Amino acid sequence: MSKPSKGPTEAKLPPTSRSLPIALIRAREKVMGPVREMLAPIGITEQQWRILRVLSEHGRQDATHLGERTGLLLPSLTRIIQSMVENGFVTRTQDTSDRRRQLLAITAAGQQIIDDNLKQAGQIADSYVRHLGREQYEALLDALEQLESL
């Protein structure tokens, strides 16, 4: 009788302390803590903040591009955008060249949220650079970008 070979299901997993998915989740929670604290008094979520940031930086765009840039799935994005439209932070207009497509843009009220929190958000971002050092910070962003391209 031949000895059964080890299949992929028998591969040894790294310890959870060295698991990339778990490490990314732990790091995300650490990084997002100060951002959540900044957003709590404003009454917007981190997802809404990301949407405002992307619309402020990139301008009017369709939901597909906004979803890609914010890391939000279209069903969630649609629900979040609806409340942001109702709150006057985002506008939704029909694309004149393709009536099936809707374009999203930040309003003056949405931009005001960005402007009012720019300094604190910048301080939070700077704290990560100070903690890691510029070189390691940039290397981390480069590595994450490589993972994103998988």
Distance CA 9, CA 80 (A): 39
Cβ contact 92:110 at 8 Å: no
Q: What is the pLDDT of residue 101?
A: 87
Cβ contact 104:55 at 8 Å: yes
Would you call 2 helix, strand, or coil by DSSP?
A: coil
- Across-strand partners of 105? 91
Q: Where are the alpha helices (DSSP H) in the chain?
A: 20-39, 46-58, 63-70, 74-86, 108-132, 134-148
Q: Residue 13 corresponds to which tokens in the numbers above?
A: 């997993």
Distance CA 108, CA 94 (A): 19
Q: What is the pLDDT of residue 98?
A: 82
**What are the average pLDDT values for consecutive 10-residue runs of the chain, which has 150 residues?**
57 90 96 97 96 98 96 96 98 87 96 97 97 97 94
Q: Considering the entire predicted model, what is its pTM?
A: 0.86
Cβ contact 92:82 at 8 Å: no
DSSP designation for 97: S
